[in-house]
């Protein structure tokens, strides 16, 4: 009798454990000076776990947290790294080399000088050529060396800014956690960079809108340029139409060319990149905004790991778009 009761109890527990209903859940909140939006199908609420992951990420790569790993390195309080920092540094070095310096996380002294970093300058402040020339001394991935988990700097004034790659890595970080749990359907979006897997609640591929480059647009006033269908891919977009400095009717975009110290001057308004890794997408979207249309198209067409969509202004001031040959398969025919 005891054996029968024991087996019956096990059967009931097993049945209950396997009947936990998976439903689509939604969670959002502030992080990294922006917002995250996560949709996932699972039988449990994961909001606490997600919060913990994002806070842990900030402790590694937030330039705004003075106790983070990257901040301690920047201000010469430590040379120790962690796994997240190493991932960021290694990918940054790869894109730096492939883009011929157009992407460079060590551009921090210049970014801060222009007021686009974590330090603030007076409103409408434009640095002069001597300030830029002085700051450029400390810029370049060759000013840093990573060995056995330790960073050494050629100059104590050299610093790294994570903004152009960290949001993408944070998307990968959360997505990897969901994968490890066994989730089959989810979308993770942080500050506009995202990764989606499986299908949405309607059992369709995820539909993602790419914004029209409208100045001063916000989350509630955005319009779609195109809509794409994706699954199992990461997407990142970079643009100059929302973040810029205006002085004497002249606009200076936040896409700084690390090689010159000045905002990049080209026809691009925004770039969207699709790849397997959101960190990789994020870095290349930034690099392409510096490289310009023709060079970026050449790089993207020759890199089998990425596809890209470019919105630019032609010689007549009209908005135009171009895409890599492989990007076309993602565009919704009905839009």
Per-residue model confidence (pLDDT) at position 13? 39
What confidence score (pLDDT) does residue 1 get?
A: 44
Write down the pLDDT at residue 20. 73
What pLDDT score was predicted for residue 305? 95
Pairwise CA distance, residues 192 & 311, whole Å = 17
Q: What percent of the chain has pLDDT over 70?
A: 85
* pTM greater than 0.75 (yes/no): yes
Whole-number pLDDT of residue 2:
40
Range 205-335 classified under CATH 3.10.520.10: yes
Residues of the chain with pLDDT under 50: 1-19, 335
The pLDDT value recorded for residue 17 is: 45
pLDDT at 185 (0 to 100): 98
Determine the pLDDT at residue 297. Answer: 97
Which pLDDT value is given to residue 314?
93
Task: Give me the long-range contacts of 93-97 (CB less than 8 A, separation at least 24).
Answer: 93/141, 95/280, 95/283, 95/284, 95/287, 96/141
- pLDDT at position 192: 92
Amino acid 240: pLDDT: 76
For the chain, the structural domain boundaries read 205-335
């Amino acid at each position: 009798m005891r054996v029968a009761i024991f087996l019956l109890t096990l059967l009931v527990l097993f049945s209950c454990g396997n009947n936990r209903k998976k439903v689509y859940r939604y969670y959002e909140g502030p992080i990294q000076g922006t917002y995250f939006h996560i949709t996932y199908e699972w039988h449990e609420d994961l909001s606490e776990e997600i919060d913990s992951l994002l806070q842990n990420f900030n402790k590694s790569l937030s330039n705004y947290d003075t106790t983070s790993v990257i901040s301690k390195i920047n201000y010469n309080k430590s040379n120790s790294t962690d796994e997240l920092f190493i991932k960021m540094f290694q990918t940054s070095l790869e894109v730096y080399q492939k883009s011929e310096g157009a992407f460079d996380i060590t551009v921090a002294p210049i970014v801060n000088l222009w007021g686009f970093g974590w330090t603030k300058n007076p409103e409408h402040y434009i640095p002069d050529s001597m300030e830029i020339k002085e700051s450029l001394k400390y810029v370049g991935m060759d000013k840093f060396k990573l060995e056995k988990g330790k960073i050494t700097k050629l100059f104590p004034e050299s610093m790294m800014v994570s903004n152009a790659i960290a949001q993408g890595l944070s998307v990968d970080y959360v997505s990897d956690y969901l994968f490890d749990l066994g989730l089959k359907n989810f979308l993770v979006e942080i500050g506009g960079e995202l990764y989606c897997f499986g299908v949405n609640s309607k059992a369709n591929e995820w539909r993602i809108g790419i914004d029209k480059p409208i100045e001063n647009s916000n989350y509630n006033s955005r319009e779609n340029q195109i809509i794409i269908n994706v699954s199992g891919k990461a997407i990142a977009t970079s643009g100059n139409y929302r973040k810029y400095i205006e002085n004497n009717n002249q606009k200076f975009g936040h896409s700084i060319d690390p090689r010159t110290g000045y905002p990049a001057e080209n026809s691009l308004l925004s770039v969207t990149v699709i790849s397997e890794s959101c960190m990789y997408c994020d870095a290349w979207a930034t690099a392409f905004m510096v490289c310009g249309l023709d060079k970026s198209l050449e790089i993207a067409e020759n890199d089998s790991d990425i596809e890209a969509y470019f919105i630019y202004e032609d010689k007549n001031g009209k908005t135009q778009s171009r895409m890599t040959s492989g990007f076309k398969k993602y565009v919704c025919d009905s839009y």
